[in-house]
Each structure stands twice: as structure tokens, then as C-alpha cells.
Amino acid sequence: MLKNKNVVITGGSDGIGLAISRKFAENGANLLLLARNTDKLELVQKELIKYKTEVHILSADLLNVKNLKNISKQVLQIMPHVDILVNNAGIARFVPFEEMDEELLDLHLNVNVKSLYLFTMYLFDSIKNQKGNILNISSYFSHRMLPGRATTAYSMSKGAVDAFTKSLAFETGKYNVRVNAIAPGSISTNQLNYNFEQLSDEGKIEFNNLIKSIYPLQRIGEAEDISEMALFLVSEKAKWITGSIMAVDGGLTTN
């Protein structure tokens, strides 16, 4: 489905990003994966070689927005023609509004908003030349809150991702460039599973009961659920879809 397409994925070595990397490689895409952890990137590269596509890796810290232009130049040296950009890298720290400080607020805005904006901007000419498309990973937290979760900074940043997705789609449609986003629900990742294991037995029961009460499908999702939607959105099957924020959340946002 993506044979010979060149794809750049940020945060491509873990969680949802890893699932998307696997799915795209399985479908013939050439990949350039960016993440901070070189060891994880190398493991993923070794794993994905079996699909007999090109798998490049680049250790990069997207926290440092001042270095994004240089990172983008490195990306274009490795992969001059970018068909698809997946902006997956992000950060989430759940701190009550009254306890938020400027440093932590800046962290959310720099990683989830500013770096996404600038990285897309620096790669855009290449994407435009390929009449390619951009996929952003948002969150249900952009418009749906949960009891016990203080998410003002994170929610604000993901709301910005949604607005960016729609406005960029509006601007770039004339170039045949499509821009969409996925808003996942709770996904079974290493981080979520680790957090779950830190709970007391009573806490685990409360968590499972909460999932059953707020998710119509009564379970959290798998990273592959997101990768299947990602594959669809960047493929020709979605050639008339742009500016959409696709909820893949087990029905969470129905209530």
C-alpha cells in the first residue's frame, strides 16, 4: 500500500510511533525514524529490516526547538524526498493547574506545538513537491477530560494540534497536500502498563472499573489500532480526506 513511499516518523521507536513504523514498513514504506534514544532506534532498525525496505534512524532531541532547522537539514540529507510526515513525538505531564510552573508549560508547548509546527514547516517544500501528506497524533484530551486527570497544559497543546491540522489542511489543499490527525483514546503502551503496575491492588480494580464505565467497548486500545488508522489516512484510500481529526478511542468521546 505504501511501496516506495518515503516516510518520516517522529517518536518512531516506542509506543504508538513504533506500531506505526511497523505497519508502514510491512506495507512497503521507506522509513526515517527520529527519537532521542539511540539504543531503541537501533533495535527497531534491526527488527524492521525483515520487511526489506529502507529503514534509517536519526537520534534527535525535538525538545530543543532552536536545533530543529539543523535536524531538518539532516533529515533531508538522508531522505530528500518526503512523501509522508508523521508527527507523533509528544510529552504529557499531568499536573494540576494551580501547581503548573512556566518551565513545565513551556515544555508542553515546545514539544507538542512549536516543534511540530517548525519541523513540518522545514520539511514542507519536500512534502509539497511530492504532493504528500502529513499526519499528526493528537489526543482525546484536546476536548474530553477524565476524573482525576489534571491536563490543562497537555489538553491545550493537543487542542493546538487539532487547530493546526485543520488550518494547515485548508492552506495546503491547493498543493494536493493532505493533513489529518488521529486522536487516540487510552492505549496499552509500555508507559501505560508501567503506570498501571505501580498502582495498589485497589487502584488497579478502580482503574479497570473506570475503563469499563467510560469506554463503550469496555477496554483500552492497542497501538496497532492506531497504526491501522494511520495506514489508511496516509494511503490513496483516503485521497479525499483532509483536515479531519479521527477519533480512535473505543467510543470514549461519545459520552
Answer whether residue 110 is part of any domain.
Answer: yes
Answer whether residue 134 is part of any domain.
Answer: yes
Q: What is the pLDDT of residues 155-177, one digit of tens each?
A: 999 999 999 999 999 999 999 99
- First-to-final CA distance of the chain: 35
Q: Identify the pLDDT of residue 87.
A: 98
Answer whether residue 205 is part of any domain.
Answer: no
Answer whether residue 196 is part of any domain.
Answer: no
Q: Which three cell numbers stand for residue 192?
A: 501505560
Q: What is the pLDDT of residues 228-243, one digit of tens each?
A: 999 999 999 999 999 9
Answer whether residue 67 is part of any domain.
Answer: yes
Task: Specify burial of residue 193 (Cβ count, 10 A radius: 0-12, 13-18, 19+).
Answer: exposed
Return the sign of the alpha-carbon dihedral for residues 7, 8, 11, 13. Answer: positive
Answer whether residue 105 is part of any domain.
Answer: yes
Whole-number mean pLDDT of the chain? 95
Helix H or strand E encompassing 133? strand 133-137
**Active-site residue set:** 154
- pLDDT beyond 80 at 192: no
- pLDDT band for 199, please (50, 70, 90 cuts): confident
Provide the domain limits for residue 50: 6-183+223-254
- pLDDT beyond 90 at 197: no
Helix extents (H) in the chain:
15-26, 38-48, 68-78, 102-109, 115-129, 152-172, 190-197, 201-214, 223-234
CATH of the domain at 93: 3.40.50.720
How many domains does the chain fold into? 1
- pLDDT beyond 80 at 195: no
Answer whether residue 206 is part of any domain.
Answer: no
Answer whether residue 211 is part of any domain.
Answer: no
